[in-house]
Amino acid sequence: MARQRQDYDHVIKLLVIGDSGVGKTSLLLRFSEDSFTTSFISTIGIDFKIKKVMIDEKCCKLQIWDTAGQERFRTITKAYYRGAMGIMLVYDTTDEKSFENVRNWMKNIEQNAAPNVNKILIGNKSDSAKRAISTSMGEALAQEFGIQFFETSAKTGSYVEDAFVHISRHVKNRLEREKPTGTSASEPPVGVIKATKEKKRVRKCC
């Protein structure tokens, strides 16, 4: 029997981590289904979504894993670090503790993920009037770790797609760079990425 033709160029496994309540599931739902709910239900263990997107003329099948932020589930999520190609570390701009815990999450990444895993920092709930963490504070922390930074709002959709596409693009570039004949663009400077740069070359796969 003839082998079925693969309908995508890359499989990209992304892991979304951060404290409970920062909006990881909401970000995932906004990106994958363009939906938002005000109901809060904690993720138990691991959940995931699949979405195909076109990035730089390549069809990428994204497997996005949504992890539980509660301490008692962190032993479960450790197993998923090793298979992750990209990690999205999320904090809540209205919650100082979730911002302070970014350092602990980065330690978990260093201890459990592959050394070359792509990472970005996301400050979610940027639409809220109850902001406790400024944009400059988020930028400074991202600079410290040498990673890109986005402020997003799962509620309004602001910069959500840009964050997912950005990290997916750099995972794709790395995968192509690791091939003997592959070439790739270099990483841009660390900082806030503007939406217009990411949206121009993105469309959904069939």
pLDDT one-digit tens code per residue, 147-191? 999 999 999 999 999 999 999 999 999 999 887 653 434 444 444
Confidence (pLDDT) at 8? 85
Confidence (pLDDT) at 6? 72
Distance CA 192, CA 126 (A): 13
Polymer length in residues for the chain:
206
Looking at residues 195-202, what average pLDDT do you find?
A: 44
Type and span of the H or E element at 66: strand 58-67
- In the sheet that 118-124 helps form, which strands lie side by side, from edge to edge? 148-151, 118-124, 86-92, 10-18, 58-67, 46-55, 202-204
Q: Is the pLDDT of residue 38 over 70?
A: no
Looking at residues 65-81, what average pLDDT do you find?
A: 71
Provide, rounded to the nearest whole percent, the portion of the chain with pLDDT above 90.
63
Q: Is the pLDDT of residue 47 over 90?
A: no
Confidence (pLDDT) at 82? 86
pLDDT band for position 115 (cuts 50, 70, 90): very high
Q: Looking at per-residue confidence, does 7 or 51 come out higher?
A: 51
Confidence (pLDDT) at 196? 36
Lowest mean pLDDT across 23-27, 136-140, 148-152 = 23-27
- Tokens coding 184: 């790739």
At 100, phi and psi to the nearest 5?
-60, -35
Looking at residues 91-114, what average pLDDT do you find?
A: 95
Looking at residues 182-204, what average pLDDT do you find?
A: 44
Confidence (pLDDT) at 201? 46
Most distant CA atoms of the chain, gap in Å: 60
Confidence (pLDDT) at 195? 39
Domains of the chain: 10-204 (3.40.50.300)
Q: Is the pLDDT of residue 107 over 50?
A: yes
Looking at residues 110-139, what average pLDDT do you find?
A: 96
